[in-house]
Structure 1
């Protein structure tokens, strides 16, 4: 039994189609989506994401407004916990000022 090729649906856009339509890179599409600047994507599967052509056309016609229906990644409580407004970086947590002093005192025998 031969597998049939799935024809692209004209009513949804892939990330490549959307990037070509907006004249930006696919990475920039993901940045805009993460920042809440694009209409919400349609999750078709675990790793499959598409955008509604109609929603994108309406978004462009409206002047590309920020999508206020969902919070951006930068405005979530976890990301805004830092003082710089940047999301926390991965890796080691920063040492507190007194941790180094405690180690030095312990090594000196106090």
Structure 2
């Protein structure tokens, strides 16, 4: 599966939403954070290569703003609005090839109650 520059990395299933704070759209790869507050996010992706790029980068984006960028990582997010849209995007600068396995990418989100 090839993902063009700027496109979201797909997740084919939601294993556990842990309540109603997070909604998942499998068609767009968007995760919608319904509740303002603090979230811990952890991700990784299996990237198989690129016809051009030798270094790969993914970016965790919230409402289009880059929070962090690397193939795997974690971040603490403070969301101040409802309906915050989060995606994990290819920001390599070129298309990338994702391994053709069932678990191409995973992302965990935990809502932190204070």
TM band (smaller chain) = under 0.3
Query: Max radius of gyration: which structure?
Result: 1
Q: Give the TM-score of the pair, scaled to structure 2.
A: 0.23
Larger RCO (alpha carbons 8 Å, 6+ apart): 2
**Which has a greater percent of helix?**
1
**Which has a greater percent of strand?**
2
